């Protein structure tokens, strides 16, 4: 039986490594030194800075060292955890750049020019967008490490970033960190930032940006816990000349209050609680939160109509709706105390019947029910008939109401 001889093995065999498989050593210090040197050679000329950053990206790894790059552009140096500048062990090497946001003049025009540095850099290297937002969010967490003047400059340029859409309002979530809020730094920063933002854009744009990032309902958290109240918020921003921010919070708070009230009313209706108890709870809530009757009457309508699963057959839904609403006429009477609230209710009924096709023929019957139950007055019905503020199904419903309105007018003439 023959045996195979083992294959010979070369001693000292070397495997050739492909260049693409060789990992380059992570060296943020060398990258930092190169950026600081390049910026310092620009002699505080922002146009030169823009040109330098544009060309340096071809030889320096911006993608890998994006965090260090933005640290330097904002603060002048590489940040250590906590927000302090990392000091180089070699005294001959500068640890900070001469030109950055923190060394710029504290005025909007100068910082607008510095905004262009970030804008043109990110436009040239699109892959930096995400890193820029992440880094700004991190820098805001370290507010305590900066001087008052540095925080002011950072707040102004952040307002410019937000106004021009260079980052999302998600970065503001850093301001809700407890250690920043506790020192009053979040409130100080946000006041300056909102002032800059509103000088560039209107409050609707500001509100929309915060809503997209789901922080519009967290503004009260900018205040330290021992000072956190709706009244304190409104007073602070009114006194700071930022009435639109105060109004935005007022609207947001009102929406939260209404949502809670609607939840309570739904539960009470579903539990068949006595109508008197529902009215008492509603009035108490309105008084406590200073809610207007013309807003509440719409909320009551939405709540009452939302507690029923309506019949899908048009010929049966009218009877079902009138039977249900008859039980809550006293509730509507309790809240519809003014002409404005009654008209709001009529318009809401009009739009509801138009949006729910099975109710198209029920509108007139609901209005007559509410008229007989003294929820709606004759004057309001006639005013709606002459000029309804809503165009939804207006022609159809006016036609439905024609005979009833003629009866009202004739009855009024007989009375005169």
325-358: pLDDT as tens digits = 999 999 999 999 899 999 999 999 999 999 998 8
64 and 195 co-located in one domain: yes
> Which pLDDT value is given to residue 289?
84
Q: Which two tokens stand for residue 276?
A: 């008197």
Share of the chain above pLDDT 90, in %: 72
Q: Would residue 267 count as lying in a domain?
A: no
Of all residues in the chain, the percent with pLDDT exceeding 70 is: 92
Q: Does 220 map to a domain?
A: no
From 169, 196, 215, give the residue that closes a domain. Answer: 215
Same domain, 374 and 281: yes
Provide mean pLDDT across the span 367-375: 93
188 with 320, same domain: the answer is no
Residue 21, pLDDT score: 47
**Of 192, 117, 106, residue with least CA distance to 153:** 106
Q: Indicate if 381 and 301 belong to the same structural domain.
A: yes
Question: 191 with 301, same domain?
Answer: no
Task: Please say which residue of 215, 247, 263 terminates a domain.
Answer: 215
One domain for residues 50 and 193:
yes
Q: Among 215, 242, 261, give the residue marking a domain's end.
A: 215
Distance CA 401, CA 271 (A): 35
**Residue 82, domain member (yes or no):** yes
From residue 282, alpha-carbon distances to 262, 271, 288, 333 in Å are 10, 16, 10, 12
Query: Which tens digit of pLDDT belongs to each residue from 173-223?
Result: 999 999 999 999 999 999 999 999 999 999 999 999 999 999 988 999 999
312 shares its domain with 201: no
Contacts of 335-341 spanning 24+ positions with Cβ under 8 A? 335/282, 335/286, 335/293, 335/296, 335/297, 335/300, 336/293, 336/297, 336/375, 336/376, 337/293, 338/293, 338/294, 339/377, 339/379, 339/380, 339/383, 340/293, 340/294, 341/292, 341/293, 341/294, 341/296, 341/297
pLDDT band at 93 (very low <50, low <70, confident <90, very high): confident
Is there a domain that residue 22 lies in?
no
Handedness of CA 16, 20, 23, 26 (dihedral sign): positive
Are 282 and 162 members of one domain?
no
Range of the domain at 297: 272-414
Backbone angles phi, psi at 79, to 5 degrees: -90, 140
In a domain, 135, yes or no: yes
**DSSP string over 56-125:** HTTTS-TTTTHHHHHHHHHHSSPBPTTSPBPPPSSTTS-SS-SSSGGGS-SSHHHHHHHHHHHHHHHHHS
H helices of 312-377, in order, are 314-326, 329-335, 339-355, 363-372
- 147-177 per-position pLDDT tens digit: 999 999 999 999 999 999 999 999 999 999 9
Considering the entire predicted model, what is its pTM? 0.75
Query: 257 lies in a domain?
Result: no
Task: Give yes or no: residues 278 and 209 share one domain.
Answer: no
Residue 54 lies in a domain: yes
Which of 83-97, 281-295, 298-312 shows the lowest mean pLDDT across its residues?
83-97
Q: Tell whether 176 and 277 lie within a shared domain.
A: no
The CATH number that applies at residue 296 is: 1.25.40.180
Six token digits for residue 132: 């820029």
Lowest mean pLDDT among 313-317, 346-350, 409-413: 409-413
Within a domain: 247: no
Q: What is the dihedral of CA 137, 143, 149, 153, to 10 degrees?
A: 10
Note whether 388 and 299 are same-domain residues.
yes
| Domains held by the chain: number | 2
Beta carbons of 238 and 246 less than 8 angstroms apart: yes
Worst-scoring range by mean pLDDT, 62-66, 92-96, 127-131, 315-319?
A: 92-96
């Amino acid at each position: 039986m023959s045996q195979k001889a083992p294959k010979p093995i070369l001693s000292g065999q070397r495997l050739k490594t492909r260049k693409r498989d060789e990992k380059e050593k992570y060296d943020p210090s060398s990258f930092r030194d190169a950026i600081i040197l390049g910026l310092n050679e620009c002699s505080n000329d922002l146009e030169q800075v823009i040109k330098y950053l544009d060309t340096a990206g071809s030889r320096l790894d911006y993608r890998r060292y994006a965090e260090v790059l933005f640290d330097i552009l904002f603060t002048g140096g590489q940040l250590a955890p906590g927000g302090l500048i990392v000091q180089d062990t070699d005294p001959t090497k500068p640890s900070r750049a001469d030109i950055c946001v923190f060394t710029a003049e504290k005025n909007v025009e100068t910082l607008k020019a510095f905004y262009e540095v970030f804008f043109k850099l990110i436009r040239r290297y699109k892959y930096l967008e995400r890193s820029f937002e992440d880094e700004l969010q991190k820098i805001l967490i370290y507010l305590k490490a900066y001087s008052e003047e540095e925080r002011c400059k950072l707040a102004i340029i952040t307002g410019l970033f937000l106004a021009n859409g260079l980052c999302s309002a998600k970065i503001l979530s850093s301001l809700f960190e407890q250690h920043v809020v506790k020192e009053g730094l979040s409130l100080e920063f946000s006041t300056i930032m909102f002032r800059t933002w509103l000088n560039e854009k209107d409050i609707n744009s500001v509100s929309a940006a915060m809503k997209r990032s789901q922080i519009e309902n967290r503004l009260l958290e900018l205040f330290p816990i021992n000072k956190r109240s709706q009244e304190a918020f409104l007073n602070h921003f009114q006194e700071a000349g930022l009435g639109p921010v105060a109004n935005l919070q007022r609207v947001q708070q009102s929406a939260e209050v209404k949502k809670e009230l609607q939840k309570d009313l739904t539960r009470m209706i579903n539990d068949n609680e006595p109508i008197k108890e529902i009215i008492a709870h509603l009035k108490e809530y309105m008084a406590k939160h200073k809610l207007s009757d013309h807003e509440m009457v719409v909320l009551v309508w939405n709540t009452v109509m939302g507690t029923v699963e309506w019949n899908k057959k048009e010929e049966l839904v009218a009877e079902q709706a009138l039977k249900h609403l008859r039980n809550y006429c006293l509730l509507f009477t309790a809240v519809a105390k003014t002409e404005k609230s009654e008209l709001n209710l009529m318009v809401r009924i009009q739009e509801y019947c138009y949006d729910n096709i099975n109710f198209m023929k029920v509108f007139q019957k609901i209005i007559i029910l509410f008229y007989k139950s003294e929820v709606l007055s004759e004057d309001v019905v006639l005013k709606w008939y002459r000029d309804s503020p809503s165009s939804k199904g207006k022609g159809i419903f006016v036609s439905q109401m024609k005979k009833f309105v003629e009866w009202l007018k004739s009855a009024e003439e007989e009375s005169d």
